[in-house]
Structure 1
Amino acid sequence: MTAGDVNEVTTGQCSDLYYVDTGMYGTAEYGAVYVLDADEVALVDTGIGTHHDRILDALDELDIAADAVEHLVVTHVHLDHAGGAGFLADTCENATVWVHEQGARHLADPSRLWEGTKAAVGDQIEWYTEPEPVPEDRIETLADGDAIDLGDRELQAAHAPGHAPHQHVFHDPANDAVFTADAAGIYVPSLDVVRETTPPPQFDLERALADVETIRSFEPSTLLYPHFGPAETDDRLTEYEARLESWVAAVAEKRDELADDEAVVEHFAETTEMAELWGERKARGETGMNVRGVLRYLDSREE
């Protein structure tokens, strides 16, 4: 896929479900937004804000009017998932914006979220655009176990705080699928592998492993990754558990060896395997952010 492409999800039992490549970070097959053409149309996640017009173009391609979208479902408020919420809410004027109860204030006033994102992503911020606020009367909050009624189906929210405390995954029983947010890692379709996503400041290994178990409990046949695309479940959850544990152990070991956190970050940024696929700059930036998240987690265990 390339930026702006729209594909139907045909994996497993999925139907009436599509995903658009938003071209996030100038990288193909990295950021996806899902369009669920239910009785009440829903978008799951809203992208980074930059190039949100690609999502609107996807609706046009699917012959779905913007005012027919009734639900904008934000899995968590990290800006690569929530950055487009304000822009899309403005155009999809009949849509309710759903978000974890801890994230609602950041959609209504994204100023602190914007500053925190700049601190977390470093020079990758140039790919972002400052988010627009979502009107408070358009926001509905979700807690663990809540469901969003789409008419002919529902999305069931399950709290998944290992990546961020404001994160939900969403079970779609009609499609026997789970929208994984960042709780099942980053799926790289061209390599058919799952990679870690462990950004600062709130990554927690034990909770992240519990989140994988939460997804597993639904026994889905399909995982719907925002990074990137649908995949049959197969052994991917087990693969991600192993990936998380080995990744955290590798960072901890290198920290013991080098005794300098910036040297640890630089080591992994220099040796990343993703430069050929994502480009050197994005691969280094992503890797460095994930290392810093693990280092912060290791510090928290000692506090």
Structure 2
Amino acid sequence: MAPGDVFDVEQCSDISYVDTGMYDTGEYGSVYVVDADRPAIVDTGIGTNYERVLAALDDCGIAPADLEAILVTHVHLDHAGGAGFIAEECPNADVYVHEIGAPHLADPSRLVEGTKEAVGDQWQYYVEPEPVPEERIVELEDGDTVDLGSRELTAHHAPGHAPHQVVFEDHADDAVFTADAAGIWIPSQDRVRETSPPPNFDLEQCVTDAELIRRLDPDVLLYAHFGPGPDDTDAVLRQYEQVLREWVETVEREVVERGSEEAAIDHLAGTNEVWQVWGDHKARAETTMNVHGVLHYLKTREAH
């Protein structure tokens, strides 16, 4: 498995995914191609190497002019950074996004500013996003359905990770495109990992979002990070709820035991368990960002 590789989702009909090579890291970012009557993609990647998404369309026999729907789970740039580039290459595709995120696709300047603050030196892997023309943005609310002809996808608002996040339920294959609401699936380690970036991470709402997906009772979870999840979807979602709670407790405890936030960040970043998969730089940066998100959440909780 390498960046640019395209794989069929075995549990689904006519759904494939490409490893986008996000952050120059394999097995981290995936974009899904849905070969329906109205062809679609789910998420767009970081913008860098968006040509890999176009190549995945070609691999599935879908010409750029035939793509009709770009479904953005939320506007964090690792999911929406390629939307403007792909929309320009695919002139007949509308871009679907939750109504809260729509303004940031039309004018990504504030999103870029926030991303630079959140990701630190990981910004070196990004490109400045292109705006999506307003007339091509379709705003979604909770419960809205995107009609792809041969299948329908229902958007469910899942704001714990970000207020503009939705997960898409694919009724044809009993699948859910999880965005970041079910955590990060690491296939080579057969486990789920937390994602808790600042400034919007909310533990209680994230647990509620995982419970929402459990109630949908899907046969397969299609992770943006990374690829199809395990067969026992209920078990992995329950596991994720526990992972989140333990992660917040760990950050809180480390700050107390080590005497400062900086010491806690250094320790947790240096003792992560995914450096073997993502490499040391990405693993440290991701962990640092997640700690910052928890610290922000804890301060917000105390303020209330």
TM category (shorter chain) comes to over 0.9
Once residues 59 and 67 of structure 2 are traced to their aligned partners in structure 1, the CA distance between those partners, rounded to angstroms, is 14
Residue equivalent to 2:294: 294
Give me the whole-angstrom Cα distance separating, in 1, the residues matched to 2:113 and 2:202.
22
Give unmatched runs, 5+ long, in structure 2. none
1:256 Cα deviation from its structure 2 partner:
1.6
Whole-Å Cα distance in 2 between the matches of residues 286 and 135 of structure 1?
A: 31
Contact 1:145 1:158 (8 Å CA) reproduced: yes
SS at structure 2 position matched to 1:20: strand
Separation (CA, whole Å) in 2 of partners of 1:95 and 1:24: 23
Q: Does the Cα contact within 8 Å between 2:197 and 2:289 map onto a contact in 1? A: yes
Partner of 1:180: 178
Counterpart of 2:24? 26
Match of 2:163 in 1: 165
1:75-122 CA distances to partner (integer Å, 9 max, x unpaired)? 000000000000000001000000010000000000110111000000
| Contact 1:221/1:232, CA 8 A, preserved across alignment | no
The answer for the alignment partner of 2:88 in structure 1 is: 90
Which residues of 2 match residues 1-303 of structure 1 at below 5 A? 1-11=1-11, 14-234=12-232, 235-303=235-303
- Pairwise CA distance, 1:271: 0.7
Shift of 1:62: 1.5
Question: Residue type matched to 2:273 in 1?
Answer: E
Task: State the Cα distance separating 1:63 from its structure 2 match.
Answer: 1.4
Counterpart amino acid of 1:263? Answer: A
SS of match in other structure, 1:175: coil
Supply the distance in 2 between the matched residues of 1:273 and 1:232 (Cα, whole angstroms): 20
Q: For the structure 1 residues 185 and 200, does the alpha-carbon distance in structure 2 shift closer, same or farther, using more than 3 Å as the test?
A: same
Between the aligned partners of 1:277 and 1:210, the Cα distance in structure 2 is 29
Deviation at 1:128, TM superposition (A): 0.6
Q: Provide the C-alpha distance between the structure 1 equivalents of 2:89 and 2:182, rounded to a whole number of angstroms.
A: 31
How large is the RMSD of aligned CA atoms in angstroms? 0.7
Letter in 1 for 2:97: V
Q: Matched residue pairs, number?
A: 301
**Aligned-partner Cα distance in 1 for 2:138–2:223:** 23
CA distance in 1, matches of 2:148, 2:230: 24
Distance 2:57 2:169 in 1: 23
TM-score under structure 1 length normalisation: 0.98
Give the deviation of 1:233 after TM superposition. 4.4
> Separation in 1 of the partners of 2:250 and 2:76?
25
Whether the 8 Å contact between 2:35 and 2:60 is mirrored in structure 1 is no
Amino acid corresponding to residue 242 of structure 1 in structure 2? Q
One-letter identity of the residue aligned with 2:206 = A
TM-score, normalization by structure 2? 0.98
Is this contact kept in 2: 1:67–1:94, CA < 8 A?
A: yes
The answer to whether the 8 A contact 1:45-1:73 is kept is: yes
Gaps of 5+ in 1: none
SS at match of 1:148: strand
Looking at structure 1, the residues matched to 60 and 224 of structure 2 have their Cα atoms a distance apart, in angstroms, of 19
Distance 1:259 1:178 in 2: 41
Instruction: Determine the C-alpha separation between the residues in 1 that align with 2:138 and 2:213.
Output: 23
More deviation, 253-262/101-110: 253-262
| Amino acid aligned to 2:132 | V
* Contact 1:31/1:228, CA 8 A, preserved across alignment: yes
Question: Which deviates further from its counterpart, 256-265 or 156-165?
Answer: 256-265
